[in-house]
Copies of this chain bind each other. A is one copy, B any other.
Amino acid sequence: MSASIKDVAREAGVSVATVSRVLGNGPVSDALRLRVNKAIEVTGYRPNLSARRLRSQHSQTIGLIVSDIRNTFFTSVSRAVEDAAYQAGLRVILCNTDENPDREAMYLRLMQEERVTGVIFAPTRETALRRDLDTLGFPVVLIDRAGPQSTVDAVVLDNAEAAAQLVDHLVQQGYRRIGGLFGNTSTTGRERHEGFVAAMQRHGLKGEARFIAPTAQAATEATEAWLADPDKPDALVASNGQLLLGALRAVRESGLALPDDLALCGFDNESWTEVAFPALTVIEQPVLEIGRSAMALLMDRLADASRTPRKVVYPGLLRERGSTAKK
């Protein structure tokens, strides 16, 4: 059992109120303050945050709910969120949902029980479309994924435009038979698909898109199957880092040469995309910025609950590299 404020009070020969005032930098005479501080030292007292939270009625805690922290996009975002949070005196509870709506619901419920100050959340499409995200009892800021008319704050990439950038780039480099791999659980996958399709149409081309589970493994399998096709594409777009990695693995195993046999590009400027050979053309997302921005939206919302929901949209940055060299 560790020491409580009571033990400190006894040790110092003062009331608990005085100890509390010392802790909170309230008005206390220097003499008593000295005695209390000594007593704190002697007893090894540490404040009990559960008690403080119960008393003060706020948890100083935010939730960060993502599909999988091993996805580098979320890793980086989480780092930015945590830095900002700890700086603001907030704790962060991290949850991995594995794109499972049931787990999302479970964690949202947990957040209610924790009486969190707010939640930063990358939902599945299913949950993003829920109408009640604004009635959970705490503010929610969506990241990475958000429905078209979200009732809550969100910070996302301009997905359609970014996908179009990739298509435009590929076309400009001389590719025509362009295929796309898209994640089937997120609004992000959908939006990137839309941008892909629109851009292809604009060029008078008819690309094929395939929706798959958002894992490297699924991408490897899908790509292998696709490359076996006599009618196979001459360029492939992968809608996130996991899919890009999986596709690359399939290309390596098939023995095809990049970019001569197949051009490859995608999303997320993970560090390895730069050292792969040839280096991979990608859309870079401002990951740290996205995390910071999400925290900022959350803070603003806490300051004024009634403000109109905002959606911060970042442009993707095309990093042209060898994997899409001119045909």
Contact = CB atoms under 8 A, between A and B. Distances in A.
Contacts of A112: 2, 46
B276 A275 contact: yes
B48 A115 contact: yes
Interface stretch (A74-82, A122-130, A195-203): A74-82
A222 B245 CA distance: 28
Interface string A46-89: 11111101100001000000001110100110110011001000
Contacts of A69: 69, 75, 78-79, 82
Contacts of A95: 82, 86
The range of chain A's interface size is 35 or more
Contact of A252 (B48, B245, B275): B275
A137 interface: yes
Contact of A54 (B50, B86, B273, B274): B50
Nearest to A86: B95
Given A75-B75, A93-B93, A113 B272 contact: no
Nearest to A279: B252
A48 B216 contact: no
Contacts of A68: 79
A289 interface: no
A249 B252 CA distance: 21
B276 A50 contact: no
Contact of A113 (B48, B109, B115, B274): B48
Interface string A1-22: 0100000000000000000000
B96 A79 contact: yes
Nearest to A57: B1
The listed residue with most B CB atoms (<10 A of its CB), out of A53, A94, A245, A276, is A94
A70 to B, nearest CB: 5
A248 interface: yes
A114 interface: yes
A236 to B, nearest CB: 14
B94 A82 contact: yes
